[in-house]
Structure formats: C-alpha cells, structure tokens
A and B are shown apart, each in its own frame.
Chain A
Amino acid sequence: MESAQVLDAKGLSCPMPIIRTKKEIDKLNSGEILEVHVTDKGALADMPAWANAAGHVILNQKEEAEVLTFLIRKG
C-alpha cells in the first residue's frame, strides 16, 4: 500500500506529534493515507485514541528501533 504522504515527527514530544499529524491530515482528501513516524511513547495510546475520536482509521502501526510508525487513512 502506497502512502500518500510521510510525516516525520521523530524527536517531537507531546502534544506536537498529534498537532502535526492533524495539520497534515487536514490537507488530505477523505480516504487518502498518511504515514507518521514518531518517537514519543505517548503516541502509542494517544494516536489511536485521537484517530478514533476524529473519525480516521489506523490501518497499521509498528515499532522498530524506538520509532513508532502509524499508517492513517483519513475518514
């Protein structure tokens, strides 16, 4: 699956990863996909909770070498 956009939010701490993600998602059309890279551990719980509340779908998430990657489809 091709990501429409990649957002590098590594090194940013809460709340910036979600703020940046929201900003990028706002630019997309419904159904388009954003890939987000985060190092702040708080995102583990907050990103899915935010996506759920905002009506977006987390298609995939993984953790590799301290980096969390989320694949988010705009709702």
Chain B
Amino acid sequence: MEGIILPLKKRNYNTYGGNHLMTVIKMSAAQIARKVVENQPLFILDVRNTESYEEWKIEGRNFEYLNIPYFELLDGVNEILPKLPTDKEVLVVCAKEGSSLMVAEMVSDAGRDVFYLEGGMKSWSSHLEPIKLGELTSGGEIYQFVRLGKGCLSYMIISEGEAAIIDAVRFTDVFTNFAKERNVSIKHVFDTHLHADHISGGRLIAEETGATYYLPPKDADDVLFDFAPLEDGLTLKIGASKIEVGALYSPGHTIGSTSFIVDSTYLLTGDILFIDSIGRPDLAGVAEDWVGDLRETLYHRYRELAEDLIVLPAHFMIVKELNEDGTVAKRLGDLFKENHGLNMESEEEFYNTVTVNLPPQPNAYVQIRRVNMGKITPNNDEQTEMEIGPNRCAVR
C-alpha cells in the first residue's frame, strides 16, 4: 500500500453483527479528483441502486466499475470477491457514505485492502478543483474551478488586487477563501445565463463581498432580486491594468446567454459551446423559439471572432473533454474543425439535432431555475438533492 496518502481509520462497527475491529481506508473526493486528472487507474465498486448508478457515476479514463447494490450484499461479500482486482486500488462508493463503509468493512474483513469514498457521491458532486489556466497581461491570472462530479466549470480572473468571478457554483466559500488567500477583493460576479442544471453562487458571493452581480436582463424577467444588467458590449477592467472583460451577446441556450472575451485571449462561452458538444435550447421550455438564435451564435457571431481565442465553457460532459492537466479549454479554431455541432451544413440537420431526441433534462431543472430566480430558498440538503446527477446541458 505504499505511495498512498492514508489516514488509516479504525472503527468499531458492530451494528450489523459481530464485534470485529476492522480496518478500512477512506479516500476523499479531492484524492479521486487527482486520479481523474492524472489518468490513474481505480476500480470502483458502486453499491448504490442500479438506477442511480446508470444515471450518474464517477467518471475516469482508466476507471473500471462494478455495480452491486449494498442491499444485495447484506449476507456477505464472498460472491463478489473474485470480481475485485488485487492489483489495483478498490474504492467502494455509495450515495452518502454509510453503505460504502459497511461494504468496505465486509471486504476488508475478508482480507482485502479496500477504500471507501468519504461523504459518498454527495461529496463527489460538491468537490471543486481550482486549476490555473494561464497568465494574463501585467501579472494577472485566470483560474478554472472544475467540479468533476457535476461537470460544472467556474472561473476567476485576478489582477492587481481585484477579482471577477464567472458562473460560480453554490459553494461560495471556495471562491471567497480563494480570493482571501490571494489577497484580492471580489469586485464583479457574473452569470452567463440563468442556470438550469445547478444552483448559482453568484448572487450570494456578491452579497457577502459587496461585489456587483450581473445577469443578462433577458434571462431575468422573473428574478426577485436586484442585479446589474449584463448586456452586449459591456466592458469592465479588472485591477488598474488593461485586463478587459468584454460581454458578447450570444443567445441560444437561453435568450439572454452572454459570452465573455477576457484579455483578448479567452472566450468564455457559458452553455452555448462546449468542447465536444453544443448547448441545448430547450431548458426554459421554448426550444423551437431559440434554435435560430443558437444557429446564429454558433455559425455567425462566433465565426467572426479570432480563431486563436481559447474557448472556456461552463460545462464538460465526458472526461474525454479534459486536457492532460485537468483543464477544459481548447482553441476556437480547433473547435470549428472538430466539434460536430459546429459542422452541420444543413439547417435542417441542425434543427433536428437540437430539438428532436434530446437527452433527458437535468435533475430538478425547473426547481433549480426557481432557486436561481430567488423564488425559493431550499436548505443545503435540499440543494444537494436537487443537484444530484449529471448536468445534461449539451447536445452532441
């Protein structure tokens, strides 16, 4: 077991029979995130019910899986032992931790080394991995916050003591602490659109820090709080230097969807354009109305931009979209060549792709939109429940 960071944990877990003192090893979401990013191998024994597993699991390029619900293992794990490899780490995963700990202890009791996921899929869904994307003019920096479990991407731009945040997820303390550690004050907080797959942390961060919260007014007809209008051509400077954040109206996923060009180098596309897919126009219920806007944005507005811009989307769907360093970023010109969604000559094919046979909608997306409008304020557990599952914002 050398080379692994192991807080060895002993527990007296005798509620289901026996009085054994067993040893199992916990693995945190952060440790798994490193394995995903570094393409390490891992064998995942997922003990959630099959429906939950098939809908959403921990994705890694070199991960292998076995799904056996914990309630089929109550009489013992002997039958599955032959299926568990001995030449790689075995991680037991469940929704909240309890069942994975039980199964891990049974496996450990049978004489195998085994890990369990601390906090379960709930914790995996919440983990944010900040990764530096690059340097900006005059010593500025841009960071991507990768939420691997949910496929959400948030951004922070830092320059000369000031910061701007784009598409923050709801774990506001991750962003505010990150800013504190770097001794910068958060001045501007943007959402590229009214999100339907996850709860935005933008408004709360702005309230906590005194920053201005911007939202596209066309997405905000029904919101119950004050915001600054994010409109086409809005340009802001971060810090005293020349780092510019410019807004580009780019409707289609929602009618208000707005992109950003940062320091003439990065194009933040929100949910309009992803690495291997494009945005879906139906999550506000009016796909047919917005298809034309989506086509216009992807095939005309973006075509007018410099091909060397680095596209930074608000989501990824599959681990294949991650770069070697764990970031999700690609040159716009490359996407014009490689992204199928940008290469549909026929308007009819495009129309059918984005309106017919769409993937299922994200979990609780109607409720999530209501939270982001300020209409309902669920507690933390309820928010976690709403966000369970993949983001499903794209069509391929």
Residue contact B50 to A13, C-beta cutoff 8 Å:
no
Residue contact A14 to B69, C-beta cutoff 8 Å:
no
User: Which chain B residues numbered 12 to 60 have a C-beta less than 8 Å away from chain A?
Assistant: 15-16, 49-52
Cα-based distance from A35 to B15 in the complex (angstroms): 22
* Chain A minimum-CB-distance residue to B16: A19
Q: Which of B15, B52, B69, B385 contacts A50 (CB 8 A)?
A: B69
**B145 part of interface (Cβ distance < 8 Å):** no
**B95 part of interface (Cβ distance < 8 Å):** yes
Query: How many residue pairs bridge A and B at CB < 8 Å?
Result: 45
Known contacts A45-B52, A46-B49; A18/B71 CB under 8 A? yes
**A49 part of interface (Cβ distance < 8 Å):** yes
Residue contact B69 to A46, C-beta cutoff 8 Å:
yes
By size class, the interface of chain B is: 10 to 19
**A31 part of interface (Cβ distance < 8 Å):** no
Cα-based distance from A34 to B99 in the complex (angstroms): 23
**A41 part of interface (Cβ distance < 8 Å):** yes
**B278 part of interface (Cβ distance < 8 Å):** no
Smallest beta-carbon distance A38→chain B, Å = 13
Cα-based distance from A8 to B71 in the complex (angstroms): 19
Q: Which of A14, A18, A45 contacts B51 (CB 8 A)?
A: A45
Cα-based distance from A9 to B16 in the complex (angstroms): 15
Residue contact B72 to A14, C-beta cutoff 8 Å:
no
A contact patch SS: helix
Known contacts A19-B16, A46-B71, A53-B71; A14/B98 CB under 8 A? yes
Residue contact B385 to A13, C-beta cutoff 8 Å:
no
- How many chain A residues touch B (CB < 8 A): the figure is 15
Known contacts A41-B385, A45-B51, A49-B50; A16/B72 CB under 8 A? no
Q: Inside 8 A of A22's CB, which chain B residues have their CB? A: 71, 74
Known contacts A13-B98, A15-B98; A49/B74 CB under 8 A? no
Residue contact A13 to B69, C-beta cutoff 8 Å:
no
B contact patch SS: helix
User: Which chain A residues numbered 35 to 75 have a C-beta less than 8 Å away from chain B?
Assistant: 41-42, 45-46, 49-50, 53-54
**B70 part of interface (Cβ distance < 8 Å):** yes
Q: Inside 8 A of B96's CB, which chain A residues have their CB? A: 13-14, 42
**B163 part of interface (Cβ distance < 8 Å):** no
Q: Inside 8 A of B69's CB, which chain A residues have their CB? A: 46, 49-50, 53
Residue contact B52 to A15, C-beta cutoff 8 Å:
no
Q: Inside 8 A of A46's CB, which chain B residues have their CB? A: 49, 69, 71
Cα-based distance from A6 to B15 in the complex (angstroms): 20
Cα-based distance from A24 to B104 in the complex (angstroms): 24
Q: Inside 8 A of A54's CB, which chain B residues have their CB? A: 71
Interface string of B58-70 (1 = CB under 8 A from A): 0000000000011
Q: Inside 8 A of B52's CB, which chain A residues have their CB? A: 45
Cα-based distance from A53 to B94 in the complex (angstroms): 18
Smallest beta-carbon distance A3→chain B, Å = 21
**B102 part of interface (Cβ distance < 8 Å):** yes
Residue contact A14 to B385, C-beta cutoff 8 Å:
no
Cα-based distance from A22 to B74 in the complex (angstroms): 9
Q: Inside 8 A of B70's CB, which chain A residues have their CB? A: 14-15, 18
Cα-based distance from A15 to B102 in the complex (angstroms): 8
Q: Inside 8 A of B385's CB, which chain A residues have their CB? A: 41
Residue contact A14 to B50, C-beta cutoff 8 Å:
no
Interface centre among A16, A18, A49, A53 (most CB of B within 10 A): A49
Cα-based distance from A18 to B385 in the complex (angstroms): 20
Known contacts A19-B74, A41-B385; A49/B51 CB under 8 A? yes
Interface centre among B52, B72, B74, B94 (most CB of A within 10 A): B74
Q: Inside 8 A of B72's CB, which chain A residues have their CB? A: 50, 53
Cα-based distance from A18 to B50 in the complex (angstroms): 16
Interface string of A9-28 (1 = CB under 8 A from B): 00001111011001000000
Cα-based distance from A28 to B71 in the complex (angstroms): 19
Residue contact B49 to A14, C-beta cutoff 8 Å:
no
Cα-based distance from A19 to B14 in the complex (angstroms): 13
5 chain-A/chain-B pairs, Cβ below 8 angstroms: A14-B94, A18-B71, A49-B50, A53-B71, A53-B72
Closest 7 CB pairs of A and B: A50-B71, A15-B99, A49-B49, A14-B98, A18-B71, A45-B49, A15-B70
